[in-house]
Amino acid sequence: MTGVAALARRDGAQERGESNAAQSRHDKIGIIELFAGIGGVAQGFERSGRFETVLLTDSDLAARDTFIENFPGGAYLRRKIQWLTTRDVLDAADGRAIVGLVGCPPCQGFSAAGLRDAADPRNGLLAHFFRLLQALRPAFFVMENVPGVLEFELLKRSLVRADSGYRMWRGPLNAALFGLPQTRHRAIVIGYRHDLEIVPTPPPPTHFGRRLVFDYRAKRLRRPTEKSAEALLGTSPEIIAWNRARNSRDRWLKRASQLANLIVVEDAIGDLPPAGDDDGPAAYDGPASAYASCLRAAEVANHRRWRHGAELLARLADVPEGGGLLDRHGRSLARPYFSQAYARLHRRGLARTITTNFHNPGSGRFLHYAALRTLSVREAARLQGFPDSFTFIGYQGVQERLIGNAFPIPLAERLARHIAAQLGASRLAS
């Protein structure tokens, strides 16, 4: 038993419920997740109700241990991708059919936040994803990375090699448009094996609506419209250029006001209590939004505040909600901060991308909208769509890295539902 099914067993499902669940698993589509981390993609796919995780694999010991802590029955193979063979995968799958391959190769070598070094050795890990794709030949695959990867020659060469076996779509998606309270842009590649005769398409956005949202550039609340979309969604110049070149942005914006409202920061974390001095559980503090109510557990854990220095706190004390040090002091050689550095979230705004360094206020807009601190691990997990029942173990810095590297569960779920619908219309038998 794997994934969500294992959690159901751990939480004490009744005997009849277990029998029915076992029967329903025969109708589910088996997937494996490479570069799994803490299994954000697998959890989102299983949450859709159409997929079962056959295997997760990663070389990260902390990620493996954290996942198994939450899903004791999960099939998780810890191995470097360079050493992972087709036989390893098939043996671990233990006869279960592998219909889908999903994975998020490390992105640091492609990220705009880094040096974008084409020679970064981590870039080569992407080729191993496609090596296993060609060896296993699943019915479909989904690969995720930072948007910058779309223009890298390494990906283009890999897609050319895969093109003989798969029809593919590739492009950037913003997780905020799929119900996440965070403007997390990701490059997605979706491929279906040629014999299925499926033309791949991206999932249509589910969220935009008409509710006023805080614009960090204009420093005011604005209604989501075609004109305000790029600012509210924190769209980078490279993604704007990509979308305009392919005329892919206007299609969903024509009906954007009819979609569900964007989920904002307060929706995600407004019911959490003040951050404490340890990871121990605490009671909730106030009513939950529709978004938060779906993530609640019995208590809140991993909600420890970071230990910021007194000098730093004094410098940040007068940063207003939705603002930053640059708003008041301006840029100078003495303050060469990025535009989002030392900046505070707004309760009615969208969070910016949660990174592996969100404890550091100088690395992004990570200050809590009301408290004088950066986001806790639990708050970051909420912004990534992880339920409060998912427990993070180990040192606080390790927890931060795992959640910053994770794929947001709501976006994975939406991808899963879209892919299941496309597979359902094909000749693939579930």
Residue 153 CB partners (closer than 8 Å, separation 6+): 118
Distance CA 262, CA 291 (A): 11
Shared domain for 195 and 108, answered yes or no, is yes
Q: How does the average pLDDT of the chain come out, rounded?
A: 86
Nearest residue to 354 (alpha-carbon basis) of 383, 328, 317, 397:
383
145-181 residue pLDDT tens: 888 777 667 677 777 777 789 999 998 999 999 999 9
> Does 170 or 251 have the greater pLDDT score?
170
197-232 residue pLDDT tens: 999 999 999 999 999 999 999 999 999 998 999 999
Shared domain for 48 and 179, answered yes or no, is yes
Q: For residue 293, how many other CB atoms are within 10 A of its CB?
A: 10
Question: What would the mean pLDDT of 51-61 be, rounded to a whole number?
Answer: 96
Please tell me the predicted confidence (pLDDT) of residue 237. 72
Does 133 reside within a domain?
yes
Does 192 reside within a domain?
yes
Shared domain for 199 and 222, answered yes or no, is no
Q: Check whether 17 has a pLDDT greater than 50.
A: no
Please tell me the predicted confidence (pLDDT) of residue 421. 96
Shared domain for 159 and 46, answered yes or no, is yes
Please tell me the predicted confidence (pLDDT) of residue 183. 95
118-127 residue pLDDT tens: 554 455 788 8
Residue type, 399: Q
Q: For residue 194, how many other CB atoms are within 10 A of its CB?
A: 12
Does 187 reside within a domain?
yes
CATH classification at residue 195: 3.40.50.150
Shared domain for 135 and 86, answered yes or no, is yes
Q: Check whether 399 has a pLDDT greater than 50.
A: yes
pTM: predicted TM-score of the whole model, two decimal places: 0.88
Domain encompassing residue 175: 3-203+408-424
Shared domain for 64 and 177, answered yes or no, is yes
Strand partners, 78: 58
Shared domain for 211 and 77, answered yes or no, is no
pLDDT category at 107 given cuts 50, 70, 90 is low
Residues 23-43 as b/e (b if ≥16 CB within 10 A, e otherwise) read: eeeeebbbbbbbbbbbbbbbb
Q: Check whether 74 has a pLDDT greater than 60.
A: yes
